[in-house]
Chains A and B, each alone.
Chain A
Amino acid sequence: MTLDIAAWKQAGNLISDEDVDDNADIESSKIATRTLQIFLPARAGRATGTTGATNNGVFGGVIMPNSASSSIHWAMRIPAEYDSGDVTFKICLVRAGAGAGNIKFTLNIKSASVGDSLASGASGTATSAAPPTAAIKEMSVVMTAANFTAGEIVFVKLFRDPADAADTLAEDLIALGVSVEFTGRG
Chain B
Amino acid sequence: MTITNSSSARRAGFKFNNKAFKKGADIAASKIGTRTLTSVIAPNDFVLSGAGVAMAVDGIFSSITLPDANAANLYATAKIPMEYAGGFVTLDIYWKTTAVNVANNIKFTVAMASKAGGESTALNDTQSVTQAPAAVSNQLRKASIVFSGIVFTAGDFVGIHILRDPADAADTLATDAKLIQCVLKFTGRA
In contact, A55 and B75 (Cβ under 8 angstroms): yes
Counting chain B residues whose Cβ lies within 8 A of the other chain, the interface size class is: 35 or more
A89 CB to nearest chain B CB (Å):
13
Tell whether B101 is near chain A: CB-to-CB under 8 Å: no
- Give the number of residues in A that approach B within 8 Å (Cβ atoms): 51
A52 closest partner in B (C-beta): B47
Q: Quick one: which of B46, B111, B190 contacts A43, CB cutoff 8 A?
A: B46
In the complex, chain B residues 1-43 whose Cβ is within 8 Å of any chain A Cβ: 1-7, 9-11, 15-18, 20-21, 23, 26-29, 32, 42
In contact, B157 and A92 (Cβ under 8 angstroms): yes
In contact, B159 and A41 (Cβ under 8 angstroms): no
In contact, B4 and A2 (Cβ under 8 angstroms): yes
Tell whether A44 is near chain B: CB-to-CB under 8 Å: yes
CA distance A86 to B187 in the complex (A): 28
In contact, A57 and B27 (Cβ under 8 angstroms): no
CA distance A136 to B79 in the complex (A): 13
**Which residues of B are found within 8 Å of A136, using beta-carbon distances?**
115-121, 157
Task: Write the residues of chain B forming the contact surface with A, with a CB cutoff of 8 angstroms.
Answer: 1-7, 9-11, 15-18, 20-21, 23, 26-29, 32, 42, 44-49, 73-79, 81-83, 111-113, 115-123, 155, 157, 159-161, 190
